[in-house]
C-alpha cells in the first residue's frame, strides 16, 4: 500500500514539476519575444518602417543625438487616445535607436507634476496642456540634444500621424546640423505674414503668421524677405523663392538673372490668375459666388527671363482638364466638376523624379502652362503635366465664371500641358547690354552666362493654406493638417535646392486619400458626351432662330404680329428636338451613374466575399490534401 502511495505522490509531484516547468517556459518565451520587437508592417507604403531617407541621415551622424521623450504616462488626465498614440510614437523612436547604431540615445520621462522631468520638459519648450479645469497639465513632446544644440517638437497629435517620421527625422537633422542655409523670398503676396505687433498680442488679436508653407521653411532655414525693387541678391542666399512676381521691374529681374547665372537656385511660382491675390485686393472671393468677378488683379510672369531661357508662358490662359476636374460648390447648394481647378493624380506626376516619386495628389487652382522653346544648352524636364486626351487652354477670365462660361472653350486638343518643370544647364542673360538706368548705361562685372538650376510652377495658389491644409483644434493647440501633397511638393523642392535631399523621401510618405481613377475616367467621358449634346442643341437653337427670323422677314404689315403656320411648325419642331436632346442628356447621366454603381457593387463583392471565399477554397484544398495523405 505504501508503495502505491509513493508512486501516486511521485506522479503528482512530477506533474506539478512539469506544470511549473511549462509555466516557466511560457514566461521565458513571453519575456524573450516581448524584447525581440517582432513586427510586420503590412501597410501599403510601409508607414511604420523607417524610410531610406531616415536611414541615410542616421548613417551620416557624426555625434550622438539624445532623444528625450516626455509623456505624462501616469496622469489620469491624459486621454486614452493619446496614450495609444504615444505607444506608437515611442515604438517608432525605438526604431531610430536601433537603426542609429549607437548614435541615437533614447530617454523616456514620465512628466509628473512638480518633478524634475516636468521642469526639464518646460525648459526644452515642451508645451503643457490643460485637459481639465482642476487637473494637472499633461505633456507629450520630444527634445533632441547634441552638444549645445537643442531642438524640440512641442507636442504630438494623431492628426499629423502621416508626417510623424518626417517630423522626427527633421528634428534630428536640425539638432545634428544646426547651421541653417539662407533662403530669400520675393513675393507680391503676404506669404510671410506681418511683423510681430506687441499691441495686438496684448489685446489677444490674431497675428498674421503667413502661409503654413513658409512657417515650415522658418523651422529649417534662415528666411530673408526681399522687397522689390531689388538691386542684387545677397551672396549668402543659396536659394531664392519667387511667389507670384507681378509686374516686377527690370531692376529686380536683372538681380534674379544674375543670381541664376552665378549658380544660385531659383524656385519661381507664376500664375495667370491668383485667387490669393484676388482676395488680398479686397474683392469678393470668386469661388463663393459661382467663380465670377467683375475684375481681377494682374497675372504674374518672369517676362524677359522666360524669353531669354526659351520658356513659353501665356499669362492670359489657364489649363482645363476634364480628367482632373475638381468638385466645387457653385452656389445654391449645387456641386459642379470644374476642369480649371486641377486635382492631379499619380498619372500627372513624374514618377522617376525625386520631387514627386512618392506623391499622389496635387491641387492646382487656375494653373497656366509652360512651353519648351529652350535650346541645346538647357534641359527642360516636366514635373507636373495635364492629361493628354482631355486637356486644353481656356481664357483665364472665362475660367473664373465656372462651367457655364468656359464650356464653349472646352475642346480637348490632344496635347499634354506642362504645369511644372525643371530647367538645368547653361543659362544666358536676358540683359546682354546690362541694366539701363538713370545714372549708368551698363553694369560692371555683368555675368553673361552660367550653369544654374530653376524650378518653375505655373501656379502660386497651390501653397496657399486654403488649397493645401485645413486648420483643426487639438489638445496641443491649432494644427495645420495637410489635405493633399502640395506642401510636400513645395518642401521637397526647397529641400532639394537648399537642404538635405535625404529628407525628401521621408516627407513624401503616406497618401492622404486614394482617388477613384476609374470613376474619374467615367465622369470625364460623360462630360465629353454631355458637352457634345449640348453643343448640338445650341446649334439647333441657332438654326431655328435663323429660320424664324427668315419667316418673319417674309411677312408684311400687320402680319408681323401674327405667328404663321410655318413659324408655329418650326417652333414645335424645335421644342420636340429640345425635349429629345434633354432626354438624351439625362440618359448620358443615367448611364454614368449606372456604370459607377456597377463598379461600386463589384468592389463591394470583392471586399466582402473574396476573402471568405479564399478561406473556404483553401480549407477544401487542405482537406482534400489531408485525405489523400
Q: Is the pLDDT of residue 461 over 90?
A: yes
Q: Is the pLDDT of residue 569 over 80?
A: no
Q: How many CA atoms lie within 13 A of 268 on its CB side?
A: 27
Asked if residues 588 and 530 have their Cβ atoms less than 8 Å apart, the reply is yes
Higher pLDDT residue, 254 or 543?
A: 254
Asked if residues 226 and 185 have their Cβ atoms less than 8 Å apart, the reply is yes
Name, of 120-134, 235-249, 318-332, the range with top average pLDDT: 235-249
The arithmetic mean of pLDDT across residues 153-158, rounded, is 89
pLDDT in tens, 215-265: 999 988 999 999 999 999 999 998 999 999 998 999 999 999 999 999 999
Taking CA atoms, 504 is separated from 374, 516, 628, in Å, by 28, 26, 55
Task: For the beta carbon of residue 58, count every other beta carbon within 10 angstroms.
Answer: 22
Taking CA atoms, 515 is separated from 326, 389, 519, in Å, by 11, 19, 9
Which of 122, 218, 123, 129 has the alpha carbon at shortest distance from 170?
218
Q: What is the pLDDT of residue 512?
A: 43
For the CA atoms of 229, 232, 236, 239, the dihedral, rounded to the nearest 10 degrees, stands at 60
Which of 363, 361, 364 has the alpha carbon at shortest distance from 512?
361
pLDDT in tens, 75-105: 888 888 889 999 999 999 999 999 998 999 9
Task: For the beta carbon of residue 318, count every other beta carbon within 10 angstroms.
Answer: 32
pLDDT in tens, 504-532: 667 555 544 455 555 556 556 656 656 66
Q: Is the pLDDT of residue 297 over 70?
A: yes
Q: Is the pLDDT of residue 561 over 60?
A: no
DSSP SS3 for 189: coil
Burial tier of 34 (Cβ tally within 10 Å: 0-12, 13-18, 19+): exposed
pLDDT in tens, 17-68: 666 776 777 676 666 655 555 555 555 555 567 888 889 999 999 999 999 9
Q: Is the pLDDT of residue 366 over 90?
A: yes
State the pLDDT confidence band at 289, using cuts at 50, 70 and 90.
very low
Asked if residues 453 and 309 have their Cβ atoms less than 8 Å apart, the reply is no
Least confident piece of the model among 292-306, 375-389, 403-417:
292-306
Q: What is the pLDDT of residue 260?
A: 95
Which of 596, 546, 498 has the alpha carbon at shortest distance from 179?
498
Q: Is the pLDDT of residue 429 over 80?
A: yes
Q: Is the pLDDT of residue 198 over 70?
A: no
For the CA atoms of 533, 536, 541, 547, the dihedral, rounded to the nearest 10 degrees, stands at -150
pLDDT in tens, 436-447: 554 344 456 789
> 96 Cβ partners below 8 Å, 6+ apart?
50, 54, 58, 67, 104, 106, 168, 172
Q: What is the pLDDT of residue 220?
A: 85
pLDDT in tens, 141-151: 999 999 889 99
Residue 270: phi, psi to the nearest 5? -100, 165
CA-angle at 292, arms to 290 and 296, nearest 5°: 150
Average pLDDT over all residues of the chain: 80
Cell numbers 547604431: residue: 101
The arithmetic mean of pLDDT across residues 277-305, rounded, is 66
pTM of model > 0.75: no
The pairing of strands 334-338 and 326-331 is antiparallel
Amino acid at each position: 500500500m505504501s508503495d502505491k502511495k509513493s508512486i501516486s505522490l511521485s506522479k503528482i509531484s512530477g506533474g506539478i514539476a512539469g506544470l511549473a516547468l511549462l509555466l516557466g517556459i511560457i514566461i521565458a518565451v513571453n519575456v524573450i519575444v516581448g524584447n525581440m520587437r517582432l513586427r510586420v508592417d503590412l501597410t501599403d507604403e510601409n508607414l511604420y518602417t523607417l524610410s531610406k531617407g531616415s536611414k541615410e541621415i542616421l548613417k551620416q551622424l557624426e555625434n550622438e543625438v539624445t532623444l528625450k521623450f516626455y509623456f505624462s504616462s501616469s496622469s489620469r488626465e491624459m486621454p486614452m487616445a493619446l496614450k495609444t498614440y504615444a505607444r506608437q510614437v515611442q515604438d517608432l523612436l525605438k526604431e531610430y535607436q536601433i537603426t542609429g547604431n549607437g548614435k541615437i540615445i533614447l530617454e523616456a520621462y514620465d512628466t509628473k507634476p512638480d518633478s524634475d522631468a516636468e521642469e526639464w520638459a518646460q525648459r526644452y519648450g515642451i508645451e503643457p496642456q490643460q485637459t481639465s479645469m482642476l487637473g494637472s497639465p499633461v505633456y507629450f513632446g520630444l527634445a533632441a540634444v547634441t552638444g549645445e544644440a537643442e531642438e524640440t517638437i512641442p507636442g504630438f497629435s494623431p492628426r499629423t500621424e502621416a508626417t510623424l517620421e518626417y517630423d522626427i527625422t527633421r528634428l534630428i537633422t536640425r539638432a545634428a546640423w544646426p547651421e541653417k542655409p539662407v533662403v530669400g523670398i520675393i513675393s507680391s503676396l503676404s506669404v510671410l505674414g506681418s511683423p510681430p505687433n506687441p499691441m495686438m498680442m496684448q489685446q489677444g488679436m490674431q497675428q498674421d503668421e503667413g502661409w503654413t508653407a513658409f512657417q515650415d521653411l522658418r523651422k529649417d532655414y534662415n528666411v530673408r524677405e526681399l522687397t522689390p525693387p531689388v538691386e542684387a541678391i545677397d551672396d549668402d542666399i543659396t536659394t531664392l523663392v519667387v511667389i507670384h512676381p507681378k509686374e516686377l521691374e527690370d531692376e529686380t529681374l536683372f538681380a534674379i538673372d544674375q543670381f541664376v547665372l552665378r549658380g544660385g537656385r531659383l524656385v519661381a511660382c507664376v500664375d495667370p490668375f491668383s485667387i490669393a491675390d484676388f482676395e488680398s485686393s479686397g474683392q469678393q472671393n470668386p469661388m463663393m459666388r459661382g467663380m465670377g468677378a467683375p475684375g481681377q488683379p494682374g497675372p504674374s510672369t518672369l517676362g524677359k527671363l522666360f524669353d531669354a531661357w526659351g520658356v513659353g508662358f501665356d499669362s492670359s490662359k489657364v489649363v482645363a482638364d476634364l480628367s482632373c476636374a475638381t468638385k466645387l460648390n457653385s452656389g445654391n447648394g449645387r456641386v459642379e466638376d470644374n476642369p480649371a481647378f486641377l486635382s492631379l493624380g499619380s498619372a500627372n506626376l513624374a514618377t522617376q523624379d525625386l520631387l514627386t516619386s512618392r506623391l499622389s495628389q496635387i491641387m492646382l487652382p487656375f494653373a497656366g502652362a509652360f512651353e519648351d522653346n529652350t535650346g541645346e544648352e538647357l534641359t527642360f524636364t516636366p514635373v507636373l503635366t495635364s492629361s493628354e486626351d482631355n486637356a486644353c487652354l481656356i481664357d483665364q477670365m472665362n475660367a473664373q465664371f465656372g462651367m457655364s462660361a468656359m464650356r464653349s472653350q472646352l475642346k480637348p486638343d490632344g496635347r499634354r500641358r506642362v504645369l511644372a518643370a525643371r530647367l538645368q544647364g547653361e543659362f544666358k542673360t536676358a540683359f546682354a547690354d546690362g541694366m539701363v538706368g538713370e545714372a549708368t548705361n551698363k553694369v560692371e562685372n555683368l555675368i553673361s552666362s552660367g550653369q544654374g538650376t530653376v524650378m518653375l510652377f505655373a501656379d502660386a495658389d497651390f501653397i496657399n493654406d486654403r488649397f493645401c491644409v485645413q486648420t483643426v483644434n487639438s489638445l496641443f493647440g491649432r494644427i495645420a493638417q495637410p489635405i493633399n501633397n502640395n506642401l510636400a511638393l513645395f518642401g521637397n523642392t526647397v529641400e532639394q535646392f537648399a537642404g538635405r535631399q535625404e529628407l525628401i523621401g521621408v516627407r513624401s510618405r503616406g497618401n492622404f486619400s486614394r482617388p477613384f481613377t476609374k470613376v474619374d475616367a467615367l465622369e470625364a467621358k460623360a462630360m465629353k458626351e454631355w458637352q457634345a449634346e449640348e453643343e448640338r442643341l445650341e446649334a439647333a437653337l441657332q438654326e431655328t432662330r435663323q429660320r424664324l427670323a427668315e419667316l418673319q422677314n417674309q411677312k408684311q404689315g400687320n402680319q408681323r404680329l401674327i405667328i404663321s403656320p410655318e413659324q408655329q411648325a418650326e417652333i414645335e419642331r424645335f421644342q420636340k428636338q429640345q425635349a429629345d436632346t434633354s432626354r438624351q442628356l439625362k440618359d448620358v447621366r443615367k448611364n454614368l451613374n449606372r456604370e459607377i454603381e456597377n463598379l461600386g457593387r463589384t468592389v463591394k463583392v470583392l471586399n466582402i466575399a473574396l476573402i471568405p471565399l479564399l478561406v473556404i477554397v483553401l480549407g477544401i484544398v487542405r482537406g482534400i490534401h489531408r485525405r489523400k495523405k
